[in-house]
Structure 1
Amino acid sequence: MILITDDLCAQLLANGAADKENDHVPVLKLFDPTGPATWLLTELDMDGDTLFGLCDLGFGFPELGNVSLAELESVKGRLGLGIERDLYFQGRFPLSVYAEAARHSGHITEEERLLQQAADGLAKPHSELPPDTAEQTRR
């Protein structure tokens, strides 16, 4: 199977060449048909090999990062099967939403409820630190 079609490649390259950092919607989902590994990819560098996206190797800690297309194409898992492209994947949210949902669930998910919760949580302005009341107390 061809992992990246010409159309997908053009979209990934365009995202990778963007002048400013964007929170792109994933263009492509790759997976190991005999294991838990999954990749949601948004960008391809001009080198034609370095992809960026959400990577989940199945250890419970998905992370944003780079992966080599050549390495993915060379993988032969159980039964001699290689990495495959999800032909039916349609990204519906920016990558940050998938990453937040994966952080909560421990794996990449496409479950609508979890993705919507992640999107709602990211949309709310909030601070991780409590307001600094120490300065007010001293006065």
Structure 2
Amino acid sequence: MDVNALQAFLAAEFPQVAGDFVVDAVDATELTLRLKVEDRHLRPGGTVSGPSIFALADVAFYLALLSRIGPQALAVTTGCSIDFMRKPAAGRDLIAKTRIHKLGRVLAVGDVLVYSEGGADPIARASLTYSIPPVSPSRG
């Protein structure tokens, strides 16, 4: 799936959050997803909340996986570990850079580095595992 197909899939299947995210780029090795940071993503003190950063990492990995296997809405997170390493820059979108390290028949494993837009150092690192639904004989 390319950028437009991924964005359309997100809008169709997850309209409740689709407006928060923009697929900036996707190729055979990496997907870049942007969280359009708004007031609702902030915690007291004006920094982006942990749940918002987690959502960015999870959605980024999900879309990276779909870019490789096609529109399988029932692929699900089976594991995630996230490290919050530094405070995001105020007033900037967050950018997730996603890589899949292993893509098997039933599991995919990879990581996501999250940056403040324009920042050189990641603010968070997530390691994710996803379960891929089995392909039924009627779907090929």
Calculate the TM-score normalised by the size of structure 2: 0.28
Higher helix share goes to which structure? 1
Higher strand share goes to which structure? 2
Larger radius of gyration: 1
